[in-house]
């Protein structure tokens, strides 16, 4: 990161953010096209910061294994320093961090939510492992649920509307649970496991052994538990869309369908879920976008009377 030389314009930062989301997440890029221009650009800016921090935390590039000469603690320090700098109004010449600075200047974001997201990167840097289901959900909050809350603010939700932010958080958690279910073997290859240790113990599986061929049947049971959780949080997240403008609701419901399909495919594939990386194909994305249009049009009727399940995990509140 450098504070020297000519710094990029807002237009250049937005263009780079668009390239980042197009290269980092085809699903989110597809859904973001449904926003109006201002909302779409702000969604790209938020994604760009999240992706930059995620790549630093994991020493990756757009989610793919990269190379870093910095150790884990130094990478986390870069995340904190870069974020602090741009929130104070500086441009530092790093488009991922400058994206957050541009967004925050246009739409001031609650600092506690930004700090909560950074806390999730810290968990990954520290090679943290969940012991209980509550630990897993807390992790999902930090790396995705808090981002869902920030995205809700980008979509016009009032920062004081805690009920709608809860729904946004739930949807983010559902996305992360589906991610974990899909990537359980890929995570193991880099020495990570997000399955709670208590779940592994219940299935008589030792940590680090869960992907071994002779445990594949037990892994299927554990991962279906993840995808069932993902479905419950997805359903709760959908129920927040009546509070959103139509195009925002359409985008959110499209993303829920596209991303939720990943978890459903993993569950349906059983022991073959990790033969190849499960994705939603372009024609499937189009199908979910079409379905989401109807769901958004009828969102008050479909979701307006749905109470949030009291058994779902509750995100932390400020203070």
Same domain, 155 and 202: yes
Q: Are residues 201 and 249 in the same domain?
A: yes
**8 Å CB contact between 224 and 267:** yes
Euclidean distance between CA atoms 12 and 5, whole angstroms: 15
Q: What is the pLDDT along the chain (319 residues), one digit of tens a residue?
A: 544 457 789 999 999 999 999 998 888 898 999 999 999 999 999 999 999 999 998 876 554 454 444 688 899 999 999 999 999 999 999 999 999 999 999 999 999 999 999 999 999 888 899 999 999 999 999 999 999 999 999 999 999 999 999 999 999 999 999 999 999 999 999 889 999 999 999 999 988 899 999 999 999 999 999 999 999 999 999 999 999 999 999 999 999 999 999 999 999 999 999 999 999 999 999 999 999 999 999 999 999 999 999 999 999 988 5
Overall number of domains in the chain: 2
Same domain, yes or no, for 84 and 192?
no
- Return all residues near 73 (Cβ < 8 A) that are at least 6 apart: 125
Q: Are residues 16 and 162 in the same domain?
A: no
**Tens digits of per-residue pLDDT, 187-239?**
999 889 999 999 999 999 988 899 999 999 999 999 999 999 999 999 999 99
**One-character DSSP codes across 213-267:** GGGHHHHHHHHHHHHHHHHHHHHHHHTTGGGS-HHHHHHHHHHHHHHHHHHHHHH
Same domain, 174 and 142: yes
What is residue 281's three-state secondary structure?
coil
CA distances from 88 to 9, 116, 151, 235, 297 (A): 17, 18, 21, 37, 40
Distance CA 143, CA 21 (A): 17
Q: 161 and 74, same structural domain?
A: no
Rounded Cα distance between 267 and 264, Å, is: 5
Query: Is 191 in the same domain as 297?
Result: yes
Residue with tokens 């991962």: 223
If DSSP codes are grouped into helix, strand and coil, which group holds residue 13?
A: helix
**Is 117 inside any structural domain?**
no
Rounded Cα–Cα distance for residues 209 and 223 (Å) = 14
Both 147 and 251 in a single domain? yes
Provide the token pair at 4: 């020297």
Do both 213 and 137 map to the same domain? yes
Same domain for 15 and 83: yes
Residue 315 to residue 90: CA distance in whole angstroms: 31
**Is-contact 222 200, C-beta < 8 A?**
yes
Same domain, 101 and 135: no
Q: Are residues 155 and 279 in the same domain?
A: yes
Alpha helices for the chain (secondary structure H): 10-24, 26-32, 37-58, 72-87, 95-106, 111-125, 133-140, 146-154, 162-182, 184-189, 197-202, 216-238, 246-269, 282-297, 299-303
Host domain of residue 212: 129-306
CATH number of the domain encompassing residue 280 = 1.10.600.10
Pairing mode, if any, of strands 64-65 and 60-61? antiparallel
Termini Cα distance of the chain: 32
Nearest C-alpha neighbor of 261 from the set 217, 237, 231, 232: 231
């Amino acid at each position: 990161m450098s504070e020297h030389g000519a710094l990029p314009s807002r237009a250049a930062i937005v263009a780079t953010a668009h390239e980042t989301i197009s290269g980092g997440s085809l699903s989110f890029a597809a859904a973001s096209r449904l926003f109006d221009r201002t909302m779409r650009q702000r969604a790209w800016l938020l994604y760009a910061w999240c992706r930059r921090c995620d790549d630093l935390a994991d020493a990756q590039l757009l989610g793919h294994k990269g190379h870093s000469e910095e150790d884990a603690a130094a990478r986390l320090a870069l995340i904190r320093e870069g974020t602090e700098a741009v929130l104070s109004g500086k441009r530092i010449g790093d488009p991922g961090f400058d994206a957050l600075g541009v967004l925050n200047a246009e739409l001031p974001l609650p600092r506690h939510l930004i700090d909560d997201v950074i806390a999730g990167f810290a968990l990954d840097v520290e090679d943290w492992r969940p012991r209980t289901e509550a630990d897993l959900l807390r992790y999902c909050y930090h790396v995705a649920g808090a981002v869902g809350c920030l995205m809700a603010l980008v979509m016009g939700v009032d920062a004081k509307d805690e009920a709608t932010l809860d729904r946004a958080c739930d949807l983010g958690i559902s996305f992360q649970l589906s991610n974990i279910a899909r990537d359980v073997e890929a995570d193991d290859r880099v020495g990570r496991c997000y399955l709670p240790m208590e779940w592994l113990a219940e299935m008589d599986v030792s940590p680090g052994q869960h992907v071994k061929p002779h445990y594949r049947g037990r892994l299927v049971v554990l991962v279906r538990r993840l995808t069932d959780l993902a479905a419950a949080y997805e359903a709760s997240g959908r129920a927040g869309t009546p509070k959103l403008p139509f195009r925002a609701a359409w985008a959110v419901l499209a993303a829920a369908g596209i991303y939720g399909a990943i978890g459903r495919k993993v569950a349906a594939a059983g022991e073959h879920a990790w033969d190849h990386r499960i994705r939603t194909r372009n024609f499937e994305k189009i199908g979910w976008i079409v379905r989401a249009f109807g769901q958004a049009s009828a969102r008050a009727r479909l979701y307006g009377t749905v109470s949030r399940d009291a058994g779902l995990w509750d995100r932390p509140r400020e203070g």
